[in-house]
Structure 1
Amino acid sequence: MSIGTCARAFGSPCIHEHACVRCALLRPDPVQRSRLIDIRDNLIARIAEAEREGWLGEVEGIQVSLVGAQDKLDQLDAEAARRSAAVDLGIPAFADIANRTATASTDQHLR
């Protein structure tokens, strides 16, 4: 299941091998926010387990993924803040335009 949209050009190789949470080209989907939180929380638990078991090489790799997951959550927060700060200028409806009437000019040079 996807957590967003990949901005990578179609057919280009992915060095992350589908570990998209690490990729700067992933544009997270706001609907997947809770899933990203679950991923982040799982990574924190995995780091604790790896430290407890002395798997120091694992800790470093998982920390990279944790930074990526937190970055994706920060992107979603920034996007939500931008959207809430936006001003709706509205789009004129046809009725707004159709109610106007045109008047003929009475200038002498136009006759």
Structure 2
Amino acid sequence: MIEELVRPMLEMGITYGEILALRLIIFWNPGSIGLAPETIDIVQRASEKAIKELHNWFDAAKIEKVQTRLGNVLLLLSPISNHTQFLTDIVSTIPGFGQMPEWDIFLADLLR
């Protein structure tokens, strides 16, 4: 996680606004989960809007080499997704130990 995600974020000096934009892009990109065609259109437009807003934010902040910066920020999506899935898998194994039933219920609700 440190090599694939944290170090690149530190080296590029990622900002809070960029992290929020990445979260929006991930949220509005649910993948192929059986959405209706109308819903897919809504999700696509929302995802495109998040990327446009990030680009506008770069322009407003007078970031040089906007295309390069935007590309580098978007390249972080894959490691974020990979590590999110990894952490979800780890957390989902906790109920199997049966040591903390109240935590197990909380985690089950959280992962839904």
Bin the TM-score by the shorter chain: 0.3 to 0.5
Larger Rg: 1
Greater share of strand = 1
**Given the two structures, how large is their TM-score scaled by the length of structure 2?**
0.37
Greater share of helix = 2
Query: Which protein has greater RCO, CA pairs closer than 8 Å, 6+ apart?
Result: 2
